[in-house]
Every structure is written in structure tokens, then in C-alpha cells.
Amino acid sequence: MHQRLFFFVSRIPSNKITSRSIQTMADVRKGLQALVGAQLVFGHGNQSGSHAQLTDQISVSSNLTPRTIAESYDEAIIPLASDIKLRERYVNFENKVRFGRILEDLDTIAVHIAYKHNAPQLIQSINVHPLAIVTAAVDRIEVAIPHMNITRDVRLSGFASYVGKSSMEVTLKVDQENNGQWEHVLHAFFVLAARDPRTKKSAKMNPLAASNAKDTEIIKTGELNRQRRLNEQDRSLFKIAPDVTESSLVHDLFLKTITPNASIFRTRPLVENCMWMDETTLRTMHIGHPEQRNLYNKIFGGYLMRKSFELGWTTASLFAKQSLSTLAVDDIMFQRPVEIGSLLFLSAMVVYVEGNKIQTRVHAEVVDLHTAKRETTNVFYFIFKTKDNSPLQTNVVPKTYAEAMMYLDGKRHLN
């Protein structure tokens, strides 16, 4: 994987905590609901919200005024220090902050920043924003502090770092209060896409303009990130065969699982201190209830990330026989929306192990209740590591060609 470069603009406040008022994540969610007229009570009112007012008779603004990075910047806090009741929602069994909840909040604030960037398109006459903005991908989340203190405030912040015609990259950062300073916890890259709610087709976003040299560098890096994502899609093992080095690796693994000097492949002895990949599999199922809906009455992408992360962590921790730390989230593609009422099946597997790190892959698919037809909605990659950085004593070995491709894919994501 190519290195992701991360910048924060100079206009952003310093790490020193000030007494100025700052919005909370609850404020951000309420603001988004008002912006698109989201249905607050399921089954009451128009399920399309205020977007239902966007008829052909209403002229959608073509005011695609270039916006600066500073104009898109925003931040919000999770007030864990003062709101004891809120801690119940965020605390995990180790008395630390639940990482899955942070994933949900990252998804929310990424959409909020995308709408702020495209604010000039707001239709003033009906106070409705004409775009339906959704998360298309999570490019990378790199974690510096995996176990956050449950009694300290958390700050989420970010800005638009690249804008194409109908999609944009949002760079995000999470910090936590520590002795009067904001301490860096993680940074992330989200890709958002805009749709016209009337036609369901892609819609244009406001361009992003640089106002200084650092802005120019950020936008250039965003363009490089976009090109890297396209190149990685072209190199996908679903499209082209493994390279010579990867093919040799798979063959070597195969040779280790056959009886020496035997001419049959019926017997596959397992390598010492290894598990077959399929034996690490864990599965779960969720019903898409209205409680988990997003602004547009689909299942919230942050909820899908949280449930997939928790399954991936459990799979890795059971494999390692210890509680693990989160190191990174990589390359999540939201291939299709999940409808309310869908049956969501999640399947997690350890696909690669190296040193003190474990790569898990979580496959999400929806199943039609009446036809039993299955469709993939997401594939998630989570990287975990041992808390004391000690090397793992067990490895995984693929048994089939399909598993071998997942093994190589996991190696690519980890490295």
C-alpha cells in the first residue's frame, strides 16, 4: 500500500484547549437532520424528508462557487468528561472508549463537513440542501492511541482535502484531552459522494480552491490519493493474477501442506503452530431495524462499520487468545445501500498474520427474505496488534485458491 500523507491546515486551532464554546456530536447530528429534513419518527411523515420537496418546478442552484479548505473545516466534541450518562454509550468492557462508536462519529462528521463545503448550494426558498451526500469509502484510518480514556473529552475535526466532480475526500482527526492539551489519537481519510435525490444520479460538488501554499500541497496530496485508489482497483486480485513473488509465496505455502515425496494431494497435513484460515471464521446476522437508519432511511454506514469492527476484533482476539489493540482500518468500499428490513450477514476471517499484527477481513452481504438472493454490500479490513507488541505464536494457512487470494490481499493491506 502506498503511504497516505496527512496534513492539517495552519488555520486550525492549536492543541491547547481553550474555553471557547464548541459544538458536540449530538449538535452535529441534529444539524444534519434539519438540513435534509430527516424523518425523526419512523413511519410518520414523508420517508424522503425535505428532499421530497425537490420537484422539477424548483430550480436547483447551480452556484458552484469554489470553496477553500478553511471554509470546510469544522470540529465537534464528545463531552465524556462532563456527561457521565453519555459514557455509558461509549464505554467498553475494559473501561475504555469503544472504537466502534468512534467509527460511527467519524462517518457522521465526514458527511457534516461535506455538506458544509457544499453550503452555497442550499435552496434558500425552502431551506433544503439539494444534494444527498453519503460515504462512498473509507480509505484509511491509522490509530496512534487504541485505548482512549473514558473520562476525558474527545474532539473530532476535519476538512475537505480534495474535490472532484461528484465526490470528495475528507481528512479527519481525532484527539483526546490530556492535561489541558489535545493529544492525537487517530487520523482518517473518508470519500464522500453526492447524488441528486430526484434522479438518483451523481450530482456536482463545489470545487475546492487553494488559498495558500499549504492548501495547494493538501489538494495535490488528495489528487495523489485518488489516483492511488484507482491504481489499487486496477491491481485487484479480482481483476488480475498475482505477481511472480505472490504466486511463489502461495506455492510455497501449498508445498508445506502436502506429504513430502507423495504424489497425491488428498492428505493436507497442517503446518505446526498454524490454523486453516476457514477455521478462524466467525459469522453473525443482524436485522436492519429503523433505529439504525441514516438521514435517507437506509441503514447507517457507521453502524455497519461498528458491527463489522466488533466482529473483526472478536475474530482476531479469539485467534490470538488475547485482547488486541486496533492499529488501522483500511479500504472500506460501500458498494450498495442496505435497506431497512434487510437481513445483514457478516462473516469475519483472519486472512494474514505477520509478527505482532493480524489482518482480518469482514464480508457483509444482504439477503432478500423472500428470494434468499445474496448481494455483497461491503468488505472491511481491520488490522490489530498485540498490546505488548509480542509476536504471535500462531499463523494461518489457506487451503483453497480463493483463500490464497484472500491471504495475498490481506498481505497487501497490511504492508
How far is it, in rounded angstroms, from Cα 393 to Cα 381? 22
How much is the average pLDDT of 194-218? 93
Give the pTM. 0.88
- For the stretch 59-116, pLDDT in tens is 555 669 999 999 999 999 999 999 999 999 999 999 999 999 999 999 999 999 999 9
How much is the average pLDDT of 312-318? 97
How far is it, in rounded angstroms, from Cα 260 to Cα 385? 34
If you average pLDDT over every residue of the chain, what do you get? 87
**Alpha carbon separation from 111 to 12, 136, 365 (Å, rounded):** 19, 11, 24
Confidence label for 57 from pLDDT (cuts 50, 70 and 90)? very low
Can you name the residues that pair with 365 across neighbouring β-strands?
345, 376
Task: Name the least confident of 6-20, 136-150, 383-397.
Answer: 6-20
Given this model, what pLDDT does residue 39 score? 67
Given this model, what pLDDT does residue 122 score? 86
CB 345 within 8 A of CB 365: yes
Set out the domains of the chain in order of their start, with CATH numbers.
25-234 (3.10.129.10), 244-414 (3.10.129.10)
Angle (CA) 281 283 286, round 5°: 160
Check pLDDT > 70 for residue 46: no
CB 26 within 8 A of CB 166: no
Given this model, what pLDDT does residue 2 score? 44
CB 403 within 8 A of CB 278: yes
Backbone torsions φ then ψ of 313, nearest 5 degrees: -65, -45
Nearest to 155 by CA among 13, 342, 351, 327: 13
How far is it, in rounded angstroms, from Cα 169 to Cα 155? 20
- For the stretch 125-146, pLDDT in tens is 877 888 999 999 999 999 999 9
How far is it, in rounded angstroms, from Cα 13 to Cα 199? 40
How much is the average pLDDT of 280-306? 87
Confidence label for 43 from pLDDT (cuts 50, 70 and 90)? low
Given this model, what pLDDT does residue 291 score? 82
Residues with Cβ within 8 Å of residue 220, at least 6 apart in sequence: none
Percent of the chain with pLDDT over 90: 62
- For the stretch 236-292, pLDDT in tens is 888 889 999 999 999 988 888 877 666 566 667 787 889 999 999 999 999 988 888
Given this model, what pLDDT does residue 368 score? 82
